[in-house]
Structure formats: structure tokens, C-alpha cells
Amino acid sequence: MTPVGSINPLLTGGSLLNKIDAPLPKLPGVHLGGATAPASGEGFGRMLDGLVATVDAKQQEAQALTQKVLLGDSGQLHQSVIAMQEAGVSFSLMVEVRNKLIESYQELMRMQV
Amino acid sequence: MVDPIFQSDNYVLARKLLDAAVVRQEAVAANIANAETPGYRRVDVAPDFAVQLKARLESGELSASAGSLKPRIVEDTTARAIRPDGNSVEIEHELLAMNKNAVEHEYLTEIISQNIKQLKMAITGRTV
Amino acid sequence: MNLISGIDISASALAAQKTRLDIVAQNIANAQTTRTASGGPYQRQVVSFETELVRSQGSANGSLQSVRVAQVTTDRSPGQQVYNPQHPDASPDGLVTMPNVNLSQEMVDLITASRTYEANLSVVKNARQMAMRTLEIGK
């Protein structure tokens, strides 16, 4: 699935999530109480992977059902409509998560150290 | 992440029952078409569909097992012969069944629609 | 594309009822026809219905059947004989054999066929409404 597949390398393979997930730099005199951030690739990366997989699966299901209806194979118009809506919602969720992640990253980069 | 909604009990139930409503519409169409065919026995969705659906709900594995449950059309053995040639179709009864089914269909699509719309609203933050 | 559930079934039924209505109209129109091309008075025609397998759901499941006209048969029972020596088709002893069309019987047939036709039409309407509503899911 081209639109879905193209988001994945951009975010997980690339530098963006690595930067977000990277451990915070140690500043002299500042003690960070909690644990350091998880290793790169986990956390947001895995969540987005899961999302992409879900969206892919739902879009394929929607496409299969739609094709069946188009070819006159099945009287399952309602399943096709529901599958398309579900795929749309999943896709929309993934896009919003991506947007928020990018926003947070940009916000972080703007912070004065 | 979206699956908690798409696999919630009521949503899955509604989708399955929607399958049954569509099949029942076809069964009623067949019955009304054959209202005067000699020897025709009326058909309907198998009554054990609802029973099985409920059983799977109560066993807790609805979303996993619901996919395999499909509504079937069987002869309605409780219908008695209306005409001397054995035809068991009463047009008024069929029309009533069709109207009842239409309302059920409307109700089920409303449930599914509301679930999807709420999810959309939650994701995009907009009410449209 | 089978977008409206059951429409092929209803379509067959409407076609069958239309044929029946045509035959009834033909009978009524010829209720007084004492001379046909093949000689003799008009004999009424009757349609008979039979089921037509539309969709089977596999051996374990029931199947959906629509209806079709099995055949159009001619009712060979003799019509009434009326004494009318002036009639051009009168036999030597002044009797005219009328068509075996019973008008009240035909009218009952006409009304029944119309009622069944209307019922099938309402099935189509209902199915279409359901399909239109389905398309609105999530909107």
C-alpha cells in the first residue's frame, strides 16, 4: 500500500523517532529522577509500527470486500461500506498521531536549553 | 489502537446481526415472489443463528469467533400450509416481517454509524 | 453489482406477474371472440408458476428461489353454448359456442395478480431504502 508504506520509513527508520526516543543529555548539576528514555525504536516507534500494520490490514480488507461487490460476487454491500469506514478511521488516527509526533518534536527542538 | 472499538461486543454483535438482516430481506423477497407457487414452503434465517451468537458472546470470545458465524437460509418448519397445494406463504405476514426487518436494519446501522462517528470525533477533535 | 439485496428475486417475480396480467387481459379482451384463426371460439389461457433457483448457498444451506412462468396452457374445457341463430358463427341448429372465459373469475385473477405485483414492488422499495441507508454509515 503505497501511501501507508511511505510513512513508515520516514518516521521509524529515519532520524525523527531516534531523536525523540534518545536518552536526554546529562547536564552538570541536574539530576534526572526517572529512568532514561527507552532505547531508540521502542516506544513511539513500535506504536507507529502497530498502527501502520493495522491500517494496512484494514485497507486490504476493505479493498478485497469492495472488489467482491464491484464484481457482483457478494451481496455484502454493508460489509464493504463498514470496512471502508474502518479503514478510513484507522488511517485518520495514524495521520493524527504522526502530526502530533512531529508537532512535539518541533516543540522540543524549539526549547531553549 | 482502534481495535478496542471495532472489537467491542456491541459493535461486533451489530455487524453480525446486520448480516442476518440483509439475508432475511432476501428470504422475505423469495417468499413474496413465491406467494402463489404451488408447493412452495416459506424460508427464513436459521433460528439457531441468534442462539449461537449469544452463546459466543457469553463465552467471551465474540470478536475472535464471530467471523465464522454466517446466517443461513432454511425452510421455516413452523409455518403451516395455507393453500391446498402446500404453499405456506401468507403475504401479510411476509410484509410485516419485512417492515420489522427494516427497522432492525436501521437500528443496527445506527449503532455502527455512531461508533464510527464517535471514533472519528475523538481522533480529529472535530464534530463533523 | 448486486447492491440491492434480493432484487434479482423480486425482478423475476415482477416479470412473472406481468406475464400473468397480460394473459388475464387477453382473456378478458377475448371474452366474446367466437371465431379465431384456428377456427372455433377463443379458449382462455392460464399461466402456471414454478420456482426458479436463484442462489444456492452450498449443500449444507438452504437456497433462495424466485418464481417464473412454467408454461402458458390453454384451457380446453368447452364454453357455454348460446342460442342465437342470427349470429354469423351460429351452427346449423342456431347454437353459438362462446369462449370459456368467466369474467368474474378473470377479474379475481386480475386483482390477485395486481396485489402480488404491488407486494413485490414494495419489497424492492424496501431493499433500496436499506441499501441507501447502508451507504450513510459513518457519515
This prediction's pTM: 0.80
pLDDT at A7 over 70: no
Mean pLDDT score, C73-100? 90
| Alpha-carbon gap: A77 to the closest alpha carbon of chain C (Å) | 6
With bands split at pLDDT 50, 70 and 90, how would you rate the model's confidence at C75? very high
pLDDT at C19 over 70: yes
Q: Please report the pLDDT score of residue A33 as a whole number.
A: 44
Q: Please report the pLDDT score of residue B128 as a whole number.
A: 66
Beta strand ranges found along chain B (DSSP E): 43-45, 73-75
- The residue among C79, C101, C94 whose CA lies nearest residue C23 is C101
pLDDT at C2 over 70: yes
Mean pLDDT score, C27-52? 91
Q: In this structure, what C-alpha cell is assigned to residue A4?
A: 501507508
Q: Please report the pLDDT score of residue B3 as a whole number.
A: 75
Q: For strand B43-45 and strand B73-75, is the pairing parallel, antiparallel, or unpaired?
A: antiparallel
Could you read off the pLDDT of B63-116 as tens digits, one per residue? Answer: 777 778 888 888 888 888 888 888 999 999 999 999 999 999 999 999 999 999
pLDDT at A10 over 60: no
C59 touches chain B (CB under 8 A): no
Residue A35 DSSP label:
P
pLDDT at B1 over 80: no
Mean pLDDT score, B5-20? 89
Q: Please report the pLDDT score of residue C130 as a whole number.
A: 93
C30 touches chain B (CB under 8 A): no
Mean pLDDT score, C18-35? 94
Q: Which of C1, C2, C134 sits opposite A78 (nearest CB)?
A: C134
pLDDT at C99 over 60: yes
What does the alpha-carbon distance between residue B66 and residue B5 come to, in Å, rounded to a whole number? 15
- The residue among A10, C22, C116, C101 whose CA lies nearest residue B31 is C116
- Across the interface, do C2 and A78 touch by the CB < 8 Å criterion? no
What does the alpha-carbon distance between residue C113 and residue B112 come to, in Å, rounded to a whole number? 40
Is residue C51 within 8 A of residue C67, CB to CB? The reply is: yes
With bands split at pLDDT 50, 70 and 90, how would you rate the model's confidence at C107? very high
Mean pLDDT score, B5-24? 90
pLDDT at C29 over 50: yes
C92 touches chain B (CB under 8 A): no
Give the residue on B whose Cα is nearest the Cα of C136.
B113
The pLDDT > 90 percentage for chain C reads: 65
What does the alpha-carbon distance between residue B92 and residue C9 come to, in Å, rounded to a whole number? 19
Q: Please report the pLDDT score of residue A13 as a whole number.
A: 47
pLDDT at A87 over 90: yes
Beta bridge partners of C64: C55
- Across the interface, do B15 and A85 touch by the CB < 8 Å criterion? no
Q: Please report the pLDDT score of residue A31 as a whole number.
A: 45
Q: Please report the pLDDT score of residue C63 as a whole number.
A: 81
User: For residues C56 and B69, which has the higher predicted lDDT (pLDDT)?
Assistant: B69
- Across the interface, do B120 and A92 touch by the CB < 8 Å criterion? yes
Which residues does B94 contact at the CB level (< 8 Å), separation at least 6?
A: B28, B31, B32, B35, B42, C119
Q: Please report the pLDDT score of residue B83 as a whole number.
A: 87
Mean pLDDT score, A58-81? 87
| Alpha-carbon gap: C51 to the closest alpha carbon of chain B (Å) | 7
Q: In this structure, what C-alpha cell is assigned to residue B61?
A: 470470545
- Across the interface, do A77 and C131 touch by the CB < 8 Å criterion? yes
pLDDT at A85 over 90: yes
Which residue has 394473459 as its cell numbers? Answer: C23
Could you read off the pLDDT of B34-71 as tens digits, one per residue? Answer: 999 999 999 999 999 999 988 888 888 777 777 788 88
With bands split at pLDDT 50, 70 and 90, how would you rate the model's confidence at C54? confident
Residues from chain A that touch C57, judged by Cβ atoms under 8 A, are: none
Residue B67 DSSP label:
G
Beta strand ranges found along chain C (DSSP E): 45-56, 63-74, 81-83, 95-97
Q: Please report the pLDDT score of residue C125 as a whole number.
A: 95
User: For residues B8 and C30, which has the higher predicted lDDT (pLDDT)?
Assistant: C30
Is residue B23 within 8 A of residue C61, CB to CB? The reply is: no
